[in-house]
Structure 1
């Protein structure tokens, strides 16, 4: 396997981050896992442990039915939610059954699972150390760019919102209003201009839903719309269903709901011209998202994608599908993909500009591995490279 000069690539990375006029981010589950928020596999186990009686029985029936079709990977909670919602749709949420699970019971199970997800994540959020997330967004907020700062995420926890609000950094997610904030589609369809007062606001697009989103029936159209609710004291008291991993179409088809509009926004953003787009914590396991990303990489030769992985296996897996993409560079602990070539990192101290040049913020010399696949380390690297550490500390305090 070819050797890749790490110091040279880091130098190139620093240049890209410093001079790119337009930079966006995509956060996957790994960014929350770095803060000890459970991922989908851990959630799946936790939910099964908390369900009881008939709901646990139905959960296991649906899980067992999915296992043969998804091998060799394990069935996760998002697969199960998809199947539950198919049952709800097929049965019209009636007493009719599919897999010996009625539509009524599927609806109850769906709501209970989402309630348990909320409780599990909320418990971990309450004790999570969000200092590095706050620093990351302070860094992003300080960037002086002519373009909007856009962050897409598959995470439905509220870590990002809490971090932004704790530092009083303005952001926009497509919802407007104060009593029951509603989704405003037109705000997603248009990109901000230089004269827009909100140009420097961070745009947050949660493409898999959120713990603060709920389905609510529109009494006029009898269809479901999504509203956003703030802090909730007890999720069990909330009558409306959570919008987590929204795979059902319970809405007026004439109005885009946020998760659909966000996918369109992602595509249009990646095709918008010159752009540096950074992936962190995303394993490329969602084919719907991957299709958008790879199509845009093919169509926009001014798009450069940087991917930071926590495991080398993810690097090797992505290389099987992306070896022909020259505008995609991938960084793993000991392996990388640079200009379509898979290779191993080679750290040469002789490449450093001086013996005093620091490297411990991106390379663990003891373990001989690149560490920016860990979101906490990536945030520290960005802040260290920015030269604005004091200003960032002031914002986060």
Structure 2
């Protein structure tokens, strides 16, 4: 198979005329290292980062099909599936139907029952034992190992994710990193978006009131909720708590945005509106980079935040891993602030999470500037010799 690797800045092909594979990869790595060294670094992670452990929507539809056997709604399911090959579309139709019938005061039990079974199925597919998915967990750990140890003079790493699973939290904890996900510590862990404004520091001089930011710190924003979030009455203004998930039983009051076209409407409520606002505010800061991995641009409320930030912040650069020309405006416009990396070598997609983590991200503990520069010069010399 012929290697097809693309590295674009706006509409410009940065690898035009380059034939040497190693030189292509080193060119990409060198730019990634440069972007990651920005004062403010944000990462948007989508379902693709957990795809090795959690089925994609297409696969979920296949797995779910054989489980829909209840006579009260099996006919409805078959009709929906015949006209829609996408579980997200099916859920969207069901939610719309339920809303319409509730407005007419004419509920249909079969719709509610079918929605409940689909939601429970999705929840259980997401609620995996992360330690049983060792390969995926190790990828997350390597990802954080390479990005979280930033210079203390730079802002802490911001991770925004649409994933509901617990791979991020588990990987961060096992690396003994500190993280802030908007929840208080203690027995009753409750949500408070004000915590995202906190700076965590350590005292560096016992005689003086002198502090420095904790270096290994990650801010984690779960834009669509988490499988361990529930809504309960608490003393907090925000009625969201974190609980320990250790059963296959779905909490009746779980707080999740299921993958449907209607998620933009649900995202207007708390705590999701607060998380989206944090995403927007972080992208407006100067000297800023947003790296997008495994995100398909199917969430309009998130897309709109990115578009708005690009329109308002001239100092925002975006690096997109993936080819989304069919459904993403950012892949079509000629803006030098937007970089795109995609393609394949052999049987591997270079924009997939495993290749990005293992082959493209620099390791900041081994002086990436020097290492990547040396590799870049070596590849450049090889390319010059080859072209003579």
Please tell me whether residue 37 in structure 1 is matched to residue 51 in structure 2: no
Show the 5 A alignment for 1:1-397: 4=16, 5=18, 6=24, 9-10=27-28, 12-17=30-35, 19-33=37-51, 35-53=52-70, 54-61=72-79, 67=84, 74-77=85-88, 79-92=89-102, 96-97=106-107, 102=108, 104-123=109-128, 125=130, 127-128=132-133, 129=135, 130-145=137-152, 146-188=154-196, 190=197, 192=199, 200-216=216-232, 218=233, 225-236=239-250, 238-245=251-258, 247=263, 257-309=270-322, 312=323, 314-315=324-325, 318=328, 322-333=332-343, 364=345, 367=346, 371-381=349-359, 384-388=362-366
The alignment's C-alpha RMSD in Å is 3.7
d(CA) in 2 for partners of 1:215 and 1:186?
18
Per-residue CA deviations over 1:99-141 (Å, capped at 9, x if unaligned) read: xxx1x54444333322212222334745312112111112222
d(CA) in 2 for partners of 1:175 and 1:371?
36
d(CA) in 2 for partners of 1:9 and 1:316?
26
- Is the 8 Å Cα contact of residues 118 and 235 (structure 1) preserved in structure 2? no
TM-score by length of 2: 0.72
Q: How many angstroms does 1:176 deviate by?
A: 2.1
- Say which SS state the counterpart of residue 115 (structure 2) adopts: helix
Distance 1:288-1:307 versus aligned 2 partners, 3 A rule? same
Q: How many angstroms does 1:30 deviate by?
A: 1.2
Per-residue CA deviations over 1:256-281 (Å, capped at 9, x if unaligned) read: 62222111111111111111211111
d(CA) in 2 for partners of 1:215 and 1:57?
33
Q: How many residues align?
A: 333
Distance 1:165-1:60 versus aligned 2 partners, 3 A rule? farther
- Say which SS state the counterpart of residue 183 (structure 1) adopts: coil
Which blocks of at least 5 consecutive residues in structure 1 are unaligned? 68-73, 335-363, 390-397
- Is the 8 Å Cα contact of residues 297 and 327 (structure 2) preserved in structure 1? no
- Is the 8 Å Cα contact of residues 280 and 308 (structure 1) preserved in structure 2? yes
d(CA) in 1 for partners of 2:190 and 2:128?
27
d(CA) in 1 for partners of 2:220 and 2:103?
33
Q: How many angstroms does 1:87 deviate by?
A: 4.0
Q: Which range is displaced more, 159-168 or 315-324?
A: 315-324
Q: How many angstroms does 1:27 deviate by?
A: 0.7
- Is the 8 Å Cα contact of residues 145 and 175 (structure 2) preserved in structure 1? yes
Distance 1:139-1:107 versus aligned 2 partners, 3 A rule? same
Q: How many angstroms does 1:320 deviate by?
A: 7.7
- Is the 8 Å Cα contact of residues 26 and 279 (structure 1) preserved in structure 2? yes
- Is the 8 Å Cα contact of residues 304 and 328 (structure 1) preserved in structure 2? yes
